[in-house]
């Protein structure tokens, strides 16, 4: 009888010790999981139209640049195939919409601007948007509110400010609008400083103005409306049709997503999405 009671007590003690050790071990695993940084993934969103030569060069350069920094990434080329004037902001909105289930941050990236200095990092922008193509180092644009060229932003931050205004058909001003949107919600914009390079050798600008001319024309109320912010208009009001979506490879075997897009123009809102037809002839 005494031996039976002793065995029962020993069993109970062992059970309690096993339970306590199990709880301690599981809590340790949970703490380790919380301390482990999340694996982030970047979508390189490129607004695109008729730039096949630059595309091959861009993808080769950027894939190597990002791999060197161990940045997990996808390339999303948003190709405008309709007959309207080019709309960079709408294409970026579409790229965000179509990639947000795959990534947790994006970079809005011009196809003709290649980073040369590896001090420029494409890592996750934990504290706020990072404007890599800083006015201090951009080869052309040097005004303080410039946020074009290359801007990295968390998906949640892009969604928070409703993306970019889709009212900008033709060239320019959509970035200035985006700057105001970020500032209105109190976002700090971070930029690189104290680089070992300057505005002549931090980036390579491969745009050929003789081949790809900028569309600076302004029609009707376009210039006046371009000064307004309209925060309610953004990726949520960008309407489009996907004509084709395919995973393609460059000659070097680099994979990218090509989205052929037709953007819908609301002529009551922006009657400048097309060039006026010359009826004189």
Q: Could you name the CATH architecture of 42-263? A: Alpha-Beta Complex (3.90)
> What is the spatial distance between Cα 152 and Cα 107, in angstroms, rounded to a whole number?
4
pLDDT band at 56 (very low <50, low <70, confident <90, very high): very high
Token duo for residue 160: 């928070």
Burial-class residue 166 by CB neighbours within 10 Å (0-12, 13-18, 19+).
buried
Q: How many helices (H) and strands (E) does the chain have?
A: 6, 9
pLDDT surpassing 50 at residue 33: no
Q: What is the pLDDT of residue 37?
A: 46
The pLDDT > 70 percentage for the chain reads 83
| pTM across the whole model | 0.83
* Chain centre to alpha carbon of residue 128: 13
| Per-residue pLDDT tens digits for 94-117 | 999 999 999 999 999 999 999 999
């Amino acid at each position: 009888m005494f031996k039976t009671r002793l065995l029962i007590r020993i069993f109970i003690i062992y059970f309690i010790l096993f339970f306590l050790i199990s709880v301690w071990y599981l809590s340790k695993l949970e703490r380790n999981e919380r301390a482990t940084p999340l694996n982030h993934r970047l979508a390189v969103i490129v607004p695109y139209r008729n730039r096949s030569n630059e595309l091959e060069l861009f993808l080769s350069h950027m894939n190597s640049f990002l791999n060197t920094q161990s940045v997990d990434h996808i390339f999303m080329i948003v190709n405008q195939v309709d007959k309207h004037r080019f709309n960079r902001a709408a294409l970026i909105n579409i790229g965000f919409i179509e990639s947000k289930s795959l990534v947790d941050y994006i970079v809005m990236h011009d196809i003709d601007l290649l980073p040369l200095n590896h001090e420029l990092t494409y890592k996750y922008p934990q504290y706020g948007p990072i404007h890599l193509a800083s006015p201090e180092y951009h080869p052309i644009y040097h005004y303080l509110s410039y946020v074009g060229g290359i801007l990295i932003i968390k998906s949640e931050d892009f969604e928070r400010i409703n993306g970019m205004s889709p009212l900008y058909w033709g060239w320019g001003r959509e970035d200035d609008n985006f700057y105001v949107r970020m500032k209105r919600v109190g976002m700090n914009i971070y930029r690189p400083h104290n680089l070992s390079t300057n505005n002549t050798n931090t980036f390579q600008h491969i745009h050929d103005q003789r081949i790809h001319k900028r569309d600076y024309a302004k029609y009707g109320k376009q210039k006046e409306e371009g000064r307004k912010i309209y925060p309610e208009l953004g990726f949520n009001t960008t309407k489009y049709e996907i004509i084709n979506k395919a995973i393609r490879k460059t000659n070097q075997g680099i994979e990218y997503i090509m989205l052929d897009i037709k953007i819908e123009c609301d002529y009551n809102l922006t009657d400048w999405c097309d060039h006026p037809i010359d009826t004189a002839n």
